[in-house]
Structure formats: C-alpha cells, structure tokens
Structure 1
Amino acid sequence: MSAKPFAFPIKVIPTDIDFMGHVNNARYLSWVQDVVLAHWQKLAPAEEVASKAWVALKHEITYRKPAFLDDEVIAETVLEKIKGARSFYNTVIRRGEDVLAEVKSMWCCLDSETHRPARISSEVAEKFFGLTSARKARAE
C-alpha cells in the first residue's frame, strides 16, 4: 500500500544543462534525492529528521523526454513501502502533462551518529501511510 504522492517543484537552471542543450541525465537523480529528502523532512517528526540520514541504494530510471533551461518541472514521489531500514519510492518527473522521467528507487535509513542502518518505527511510518497502511507496508 503506498502513501499519498508528494510534489516538489523544480526550476531548471543553467548549470543543469549539458553539451546537447538539455538537462544532464545525472541531474534527474539529484532531483529524485531532493524530492525524497523533502518528503521525509515534511512528514517525519523533527527528532527523526535530526537523528536519521538517507542514502540511495538503487535507482532505476527511464528517461522519456528532455527538459530544457527555464522549464518548470514537478517531481512527484510516492513512498510505496518500508521494509526494515529500506524505503521504496516511485518518482515521476513532469513538465506539465509530459512525463520526462520515471524512477524507482530504494533508500536506506541510517542513524546519523553511527551511520548504521536504522529501522523506521511504526509510529513514524504512520505519518506517511496512516495507521492501517503503515502496518501493511511494513509487513510486506
């Protein structure tokens, strides 16, 4: 069971552009990181945000269309499930109705001090999924 989508606006700037005149493919991955972290910071309690860090374990990206300088882009992410210290996200990057890229990613939550994997508590998962859905997501 997935959580509600979280939208994050992106402004394409000159440093995003590559030699072909469109956004460099690597920039899409940093946008995914930006939206996932913004989602965490918006919904997780302040003490969890302060005590946890996130690292990407895997990205699977499908590029559909290029983005260009000054495009107004939206990254919309959905937390699909939490399993132990891992979280699984689907992110779609759009310009208007055009899908520019689709990204499936897996992230590991770390304790900020020890840098060891840290499980997401049921109470925190509830902030993202709601009570019943959080239990289902953790059980998968």
Structure 2
Amino acid sequence: MTDHREDALTWDLPDPFTLPIEVRPEDTDRLGHANNVVYVRWLEDISWAHIEREGMTWALHEQTGKAMAITRTEIDYLGAANAGDRLVLGTWLTDFDGRIRSARQFQLIRPVDGKTLMRAVSTHACVNMASQRPSRVPPEFADIFRRIQVKGGFTF
C-alpha cells in the first residue's frame, strides 16, 4: 500500500472543504467497522464546520431567525472503515435554488490506500426557527451559498 498525501487524493469535485477523521473504537459496531450512525454524525460535523468557516455562524442563524434543515440524505457505503483508520471527509455545496433549497455532496477517503469509502448527498430547506416552517433564505445565507457553490455536482 502506498501512503497517499491528503493533497494528492482523488476528489469527485475540485477544492473540497475537508475534515480529518480518526475512527475511534466507540465509533464501531458489532461488525467491527464504523457504524452507519457515525457516518451521519460526521456529515453533520463537516457541514457545520464548512458553513461556519464561510461566515454562516450560529450567531447569524439566531440573528436572521433562519436555519437550513436537512430534508434528505442519501449515503452510499462503498467500503468499511475500522477503528484506528485515518480518513479525510470532503464536502461541497453543490446546489442552491436561490430561494429555499440547497444541497451538498460528501466523499470519504482513506488516504493510506486512496479508497473512497462513502459518498453522500444531502438536501436542505430553509426554515423559520420559531415556526419550523419553510422560509425564504435570508440574503446573508444566499450570499454565502452563491460564493461557495461548486458547479458540476448534484442539482435538484
């Protein structure tokens, strides 16, 4: 096996926002590999880290009274991750309809062999935090989405 450098990984789309992950023993299930629930947690962790780095902080959510709620997540598990594995999770905002909906893609790679272990897509809808009802994306969110959106990925 060749040890792949993180910057030499083969990503599905250019310039991902990445999060290093080390699979902990408590992340594994009875089969000895990372539990499906843990993958969902990793998707949430990287999503928040990505938007917060871009300025869409929780303070901005509270100020606008709006948030992006997940409406669908599709995950393709392509290989097992085991305790002690060092992984890199990448994400991209790949769609924004300009009003209510956005989408992001994910790819999980094990650098030691360059294998993609998981791909996922999640879609989101803007909601009013007080009413929990769908709401138009505030201009502050729209500006961020337009700035960071990667073309060529998932579309609605």
TM class, shorter-length: 0.7 to 0.9
Let me know the Cα RMSD of the aligned residues: 2.7
- Greater share of helix: 1
The 1-side partners of 2:138 and 2:83 are apart by: 41
Q: Tell me which of 77, 81, 100 is aligned to 1:63.
A: 77
Partner residue of 2:47? 36
Equivalent residue for 1:82?
Answer: 96
User: Do structure 1's residue 126 and structure 2's residue 143 form an aligned pair?
Assistant: yes
The one-letter code sitting in structure 1 at the alignment partner of 2:126 is C
Q: CA deviation at 1:38?
A: 1.7
Gaps (5+ residues) in structure 1? 135-139
Separation (CA, whole Å) in 2 of partners of 1:82 and 1:67: 31
Conserved? CA contact 2:101–2:123, under 8 Å: yes
User: Could you tell me how far apart the structure 2 residues matched to 1:52 and 1:12 are?
Assistant: 33
What whole-Å deviation, never above 9, does each CA across 1:60-114 have from its counterpart, x for those lacking one?
1111111011212121111111122221111001111210100011122323223
Q: Structure 2 CA distance, aligned partners of 1:87 and 1:71? A: 31
| TM-score, structure 1 as length reference | 0.78
SS at match of 1:126: helix
Normalization by structure 2: what TM-score? 0.71
Aligned length: 133
Aligned-residue offset at 1:24: 1.1
Deviation at 1:55, TM superposition (A): 2.5
Paired amino acid for 1:49: H
Within 5 Å, give how 1:1-140 maps onto structure 2.
Answer: 5-46=16-57, 47-50=59-62, 51-83=65-97, 84-96=99-111, 97-130=114-147
Using the TM superposition, give the Cα deviation of residue 44 of structure 1 relative to its aligned residue in structure 2, in angstroms: 3.0
Q: Which residue of 2 aligns with 1:137?
A: none
Distance 2:85 2:101 in 1: 32
Which amino acid is the alignment partner of residue 137 of structure 2?
I
Q: Distance in 1 between matches of 2:134 and 2:51?
A: 16
